[in-house]
């Protein structure tokens, strides 16, 4: 992992990126963020809501064809399936990319970890953050992409 440096007034992770890390990795990020902050510095997270992650995992399978895209610079067929793992509170997305010329299939997957507000609060407390305040999101209220995100502002505790 990258060195975050130290003596910052603010460390932030925005647009739901916190949720793409496995719980152990997320804890490591919080520990490094705390070390990077000066006394009473702020941590700003903009994670997905629990409900949004469930929605991601329960989306119906989908597909499309395209000349090029994120997964390939060549014409391809994109297939996606989604799963909700309720035991671990994680959405899993699997992607199959079929090259239109060769028929070769490439496979990729991603996961999104869900946390309740109380789990966010507990996780932050465990890693030395207090004064946790939740906001609806950091973007404009009319921005549909922001509807499924939370703003969480917390202060580094001094012991």
Q: Answer yes or no: is 2 within a domain.
A: no
Residue 74, classed as helix, strand or coil, is coil
Q: Answer yes or no: is 143 within a domain.
A: yes
Q: How confident is the model at residue 1 (pLDDT cuts 50, 70, 90)?
A: low
Q: pLDDT tens-digit profile of 99-116?
A: 999 999 999 999 999 999
8-31 average pLDDT score: 93
Nearest to 56 by CA among 14, 19, 107: 19
If asked whether residues 150 and 136 sit together in one domain, one would say yes
- The whole domain housing 23 covers 8-47+115-156
Percent of residues, the chain, with pLDDT higher than 90: 82
If asked whether residues 101 and 121 sit together in one domain, one would say no
pLDDT given at position 28: 94
Q: Answer yes or no: is 1 within a domain.
A: no
If asked whether residues 13 and 41 sit together in one domain, one would say yes
Q: pLDDT tens-digit profile of 62-79?
A: 999 999 999 999 999 999
Q: Answer yes or no: is 54 within a domain.
A: no
**pTM here?**
0.86
Q: pLDDT tens-digit profile of 119-133?
A: 999 999 999 999 999
**What Å distances lie between residue 2 and 22, 33, 36, 42, 143, CA to CA?**
17, 11, 12, 19, 32
Whether the per-residue pLDDT at 153 is higher than 80: the answer is: yes
Whether the per-residue pLDDT at 147 is higher than 80: the answer is: no
Residue 41, classed as helix, strand or coil, is strand
Pairing state between β 105-113 and 62-66: unpaired
Measured distance between the N- and C-terminal CA atoms of the chain, rounded to whole angstroms: 26
Residue 58, classed as helix, strand or coil, is coil
If asked whether residues 109 and 67 sit together in one domain, one would say yes
CATH code for the domain of 145: 3.40.50.150
**How many distinct structural domains can be found in the chain?**
2
Contact between 75 and 65 (Cβ < 8 Å): yes
Q: Answer yes or no: is 104 within a domain.
A: yes
Q: What stretch of H or E contains 57?
A: helix 50-57
Contact between 94 and 109 (Cβ < 8 Å): yes
Q: pLDDT tens-digit profile of 76-102?
A: 999 999 999 999 999 999 999 999 999
If asked whether residues 80 and 104 sit together in one domain, one would say yes
pLDDT given at position 146: 62
**Calpha distance 25→44 (Å, rounded):** 17
pLDDT given at position 76: 97
């Amino acid at each position: 992992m990258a060195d975050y440096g130290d003596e910052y007034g603010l460390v932030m992770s925005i647009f739901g990126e916190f949720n793409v890390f496995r719980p152990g990795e997320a804890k490591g990020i919080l520990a490094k963020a705390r070390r990077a902050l000066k006394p009473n510095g702020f941590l700003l997270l903009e994670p997905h809501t629990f409900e949004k992650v469930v929605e991601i995992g329960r989306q119906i399978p989908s597909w499309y064809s395209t000349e090029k895209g994120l997964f390939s610079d060549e014409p391809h067929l994109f297939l996606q399936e989604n799963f909700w793992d309720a035991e671990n509170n994680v959405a899993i997305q699997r992607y199959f990319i079929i090259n239109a010329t060769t028929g070769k299939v490439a496979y990729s997957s991603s996961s999104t970890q869900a946390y309740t507000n109380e789990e966010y609060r507990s996780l932050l407390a465990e890693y030395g953050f207090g004064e946790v305040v939740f906001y609806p999101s950091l973007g404009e209220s009319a921005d549909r992409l922001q509807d499924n995100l939370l703003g969480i502002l917390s202060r580094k505790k001094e012991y």
